[in-house]
Amino acid sequence: MTEYGKPLGATETTIPGLVVFDLPVHGDARGWFKENWQREKMTALGLPDFGPVQNNISFNDAVGTTRGIHAEPWDKWVSVATGRIFGAWVDLREGPTFGAVFTTELDPSKAIFVPRGVGNSYQTLEPDTAYTYLVNDHWSPDAAYSFLNLADETAAIGWPIPLSDVEISAKDLAHPRMADVTPIPPKKILVVGANGQLGRALRAEYGDAPHVEYADRSTFDISSTDLATARRWRDYGTIINAAAHTRVDLAETPEGRKDAWAANVTGVATLARIAADNGITLVHVSSDYVFDGTLDRPYREDDPVCPLGVYGQTKAAGDAVVSTAPRHYIVRTSWVIGDGSNFVRTMASLAERGIEPRVVDDQIGRLTFTADIARGIRHLVEHAAPFGVYNLTGDGEPHSWADIARAVFALTGHDPERVTGVSTEEYFASATGPIAPRPRNSVLDLTKATTRNVPLGLVSGRLADYLAGA
């Protein structure tokens, strides 16, 4: 008997992500009405905003009709239109909860959210039962399913009507036991720009995890006109965009300006559109260059952008494009140091060769090591931090480039007084080509990241470790 008038509510189950919802049903002698799916109210209770794209209905004529345990590679919202069912759910995802079981009855006043990879099965308890399910992917013959036998001894599901007395298809009867089930892997992660310095750090962070793919320019052309159909994008959960045009001075030339806009804006727009269309989380790496550096305090995530040069303008435009994707992280960083040629390696080399450099002392910021950016990105994604912009740099006291150069000299056993501090204008006075304007204040406020427990490396310690391993 359907219970009328109970309030909308959500109840977690023993399977992570599997959530039972009580639905308000309003009825009288004429029948009943309910809001079967109400995005605003249900997401407010914690339901993932999973973006359904297809609605299916299963009608069951007889009591005892039993559907096999199928784990599909998409999320489902399952509810009853008429009748009553016994439902059994088995976690068939890779991980520590593989094999966990949950059962309950559903009638029109109850619904359940079934996350991707959780096997589901239903047994009808009343004649003429119909249940409906919303899914966030279109059915495809190429989709990878996993199945479990209804009579599996490990799951030991307590079917209210014995399986020997009910209608089951021959295909469902042939499904494997738990020991032979192929677990559903996590959704794929695609790292774009995998051969750059951040891309290499992401390779080190994620390693050879089978669900992580790495793509460079030779294998992933973001300017391709058929990119939207190049992959089965619904199998991907995250795209990490570590690709960018970062040659700030070259961006001030006619050819460099064209390349910077193509890589930092046009290509990013393609990724944002794919992410929005397929419910993918897009992680995009931004820069302190979106600010003009005139504030007398660290820049917060919500400060208005005001870029000085072409590179900063393209990064600001790319941020705006990424923000249109419903699921996005814009990771804003500064003074990046990673594998390959960079300021720290250059200063160490000059120190070793006995050269006394002139280094800018009126630009203030913090170094950020690519290993920390990669670790921070992984933390945001795996801990499902609220989407939006996050400043992610090294932690500790801000310094000038000259201060950092002196620290490099000292850490490598050389006299830091050999470094002479000069103004930006003095440093570039003899330059023969275009020079991009630099923000004088590149310090980013880290409050939001630390509140979310994003791991940030202390610059002084990271610099020492980096030089020890250089």
325-351 per-position pLDDT tens digit: 999 999 999 999 999 889 999 999 999
What CATH topology corresponds to 9-180?
Answer: Jelly Rolls (2.60.120)
Specify whether the CB–CB gap between 336 and 198 falls below 8 A.
Answer: yes
What integer is the mean pLDDT of 377-381? 97
Q: What six digits make up the tokens of 466?
A: 């980096």
- 4-49 pLDDT, tens digit per residue, is 778 999 999 999 999 999 999 998 778 889 999 999 999 999 898 8
The answer to whether the Cα torsion of 10, 38, 91, 121 is positive or negative is positive
Rg of the chain on CA atoms, in Å: 28
pLDDT at 11: 95
Q: How confident is the model at residue 1 (pLDDT cuts 50, 70, 90)?
A: low
The backbone torsions φ and ψ at residue 171, rounded to the nearest 5 degrees and listed phi first, read: -65, -45
Question: In this structure, how many other beta carbons lie within 10 angstroms of the beta carbon of residue 21?
Answer: 18
What CATH topology corresponds to 188-469?
Answer: Rossmann fold (3.40.50)
Q: What is the C-alpha to C-alpha distance for residues 318 and 194, in angstroms, rounded to an integer?
A: 19
What integer is the mean pLDDT of 298-312? 97
How far is the CA of 236 from the CAs of 194, 205, 344, 349, 422, in angstroms? 17, 19, 36, 43, 49
**Least-confidence region, from 50-54, 119-123, 196-200, 404-408:** 50-54
Question: In this structure, how many other beta carbons lie within 10 angstroms of the beta carbon of residue 27?
Answer: 15
pLDDT at 230: 85
- Concatenating the DSSP letter of every residue in 342-406 gives -HHHHHHHHHHTT---EEE-S-EE--EEHHHHHHHHHHHHHTTPPSEEEE---BS--EEHHHHHH
Task: Cite the residue boundaries of each domain of the chain with CATH code 3.40.50.720.
Answer: 188-469
Specify whether the CB–CB gap between 85 and 112 falls below 8 A.
Answer: no
Counted residue by residue, the chain has a size of: 470
- 197-212 pLDDT, tens digit per residue, is 999 999 999 999 999 9
Looking at the DSSP bridge assignments, the partners of residue 28 are 31
Nearest Cα neighbor of 72 from 43, 94, 92 is 92
Q: What is the C-alpha to C-alpha distance for residues 89 and 103, in angstroms, rounded to an integer?
A: 6
Using the predicted structure, report yes or no on whether residue 272 has a pLDDT greater than 90: yes
Nearest Cα neighbor of 198 from 53, 61, 338, 90 is 338
pLDDT at 32: 86
Question: In this structure, how many other beta carbons lie within 10 angstroms of the beta carbon of residue 23?
Answer: 23
What percentage of the chain exceeds 90 in pLDDT? 84
Nearest Cα neighbor of 384 from 217, 211, 238, 202 is 238
- 277-295 pLDDT, tens digit per residue, is 999 999 999 999 999 999 9
Q: What is the C-alpha to C-alpha distance for residues 248 and 35, in angstroms, rounded to an integer?
A: 54
- 439-449 pLDDT, tens digit per residue, is 999 999 999 99
The average confidence (pLDDT) of the chain is 93
Question: What amino acid positions are annotated as catalytic residues?
Answer: 70, 133
Q: What six digits make up the tokens of 265?
A: 């804006």
Half-sphere exposure of 404 (CA within 13 A, CB side): 31
Q: What is the C-alpha to C-alpha distance for residues 189 and 186, in angstroms, rounded to an integer?
A: 9
Specify whether the CB–CB gap between 108 and 152 falls below 8 A.
Answer: no
The backbone torsions φ and ψ at residue 43, rounded to the nearest 5 degrees and listed phi first, read: -70, -30
pLDDT at 255: 95
Using the predicted structure, report yes or no on whether residue 186 has a pLDDT greater than 70: yes
What integer is the mean pLDDT of 259-269? 94
| Contacts of range 413-416, beta carbons closer than 8 Å, 24 or more positions apart | 414/351, 414/352
Q: How confident is the model at residue 470 (pLDDT cuts 50, 70, 90)?
A: low
- Concatenating the DSSP letter of every residue in 156-177 gives ----SS-GGGS---HHHHTPPP
What integer is the mean pLDDT of 237-261? 95
Task: Cite the residue boundaries of each domain of the chain with CATH code 2.60.120.10.
Answer: 9-180
Buried b / exposed e over 439-464, threshold 16 CB at 10 Å, is bbbbbbbbebbeeeebebbebbebbe
Task: Give the DSSP H or E segment for 226.
Answer: none
Residue type, position 16, single letter: P
What integer is the mean pLDDT of 386-414? 97
- 66-99 pLDDT, tens digit per residue, is 999 999 889 999 999 999 999 999 999 999 999 9
- 351-362 pLDDT, tens digit per residue, is 999 999 999 999
What integer is the mean pLDDT of 95-117? 95
pLDDT at 315: 98
The backbone torsions φ and ψ at residue 272, rounded to the nearest 5 degrees and listed phi first, read: -65, -40
